[in-house]
Amino acid sequence: MHPATFLSQHPVFTTREYALLCGKGIDSASRSLNKLARGGVITRITRGIWIQPDNPGFTPNVLIPYLLGTEQGYLSFLSALHLHGLLSQIPVSIQIATTGHTRNLSSPAGYFEFIHLKPVMMTNGVSAFEVGNTFYPRATPEKALLDTLYIATRRGNRFASLPELNCESLDPGLFYTLLKEQVPAKPILTAIRKRAAQIGLPSK
């Protein structure tokens, strides 16, 4: 594949992908990409991961699968609630649920927060969202709320004070089904039910 064709089709990519599809060695691909970066055509996010900010198919969210690597994860928490229209306030960071360590990444594409959840909470409530010809995993509205309230019950008081949420479009049945499936500990389950009632979600 010609490099120009590759770049037109890949708003986010790795050095390895570029080398493989363009028939280059890794070292040759790295030199070519660094040259393009110096010219302002592409931007390096982390080692081996590149973006084209001006590509119509690019949004920071399509970086999520690349940044997760071998971890399970998806866009969630306030970021997903905002995209689903439940939260009018735009979060200052892109919040990602992950099976990996809790950590932050400041990058030219935005500020990413990775928040650890147990693998049992990765089993349902996530779908692939399409942007152009790329996809990224995103929590459903009910799942994003569950993740947020779950973290709110943990130490540290994260999400202890939530912005005003519009819960009218939420399906309480789906929320409480996910809660029962993914939060087996009764004290945490009870605490989440209490928080849900406080924000106006009807009990099942």
Please name each of the domains of the chain with its CATH number. 3-51 (1.10.10), 60-198 (3.30.460)
The mean of the pLDDT values for the chain is: 90
Percent of the chain past pLDDT 90, that is, above it, reads 56
Residue 203: count of CB within 10 angstroms of its CB: 8
Look at residue 58 and tell me whether its pLDDT is greater than 80.
Answer: yes
Choose between 38 and 3: higher pLDDT: 38
Confidence at residue 204, expressed as pLDDT on a 0 to 100 scale = 62
What is the spatial distance between Cα 135 and Cα 62, in angstroms, rounded to a whole number? 6
Comparing CA positions, the residue from 91, 157, 85, 145 lying closest to residue 121 is 145
Give bridge partners of residue 110 from the DSSP assignment: 107
Are 112 and 105 a contacting pair, CB within 8 Å? Answer: yes
The predicted-structure confidence for 142-198, as pLDDT tens digits, reads as follows 999 999 999 998 766 788 777 778 888 899 999 999 999 999 889 999 999 998 998
Give bridge partners of residue 113 from the DSSP assignment: 95, 104
Q: Flag the least confident range among 87-91, 101-105, 112-116.
A: 87-91
Give bridge partners of residue 139 from the DSSP assignment: 126
Look at residue 203 and tell me whether its pLDDT is greater than 80.
Answer: no
Residue 11: count of CB within 10 angstroms of its CB: 23
What is the spatial distance between Cα 32 and Cα 55, in angstroms, rounded to a whole number? 19
pTM score of the predicted model: 0.90
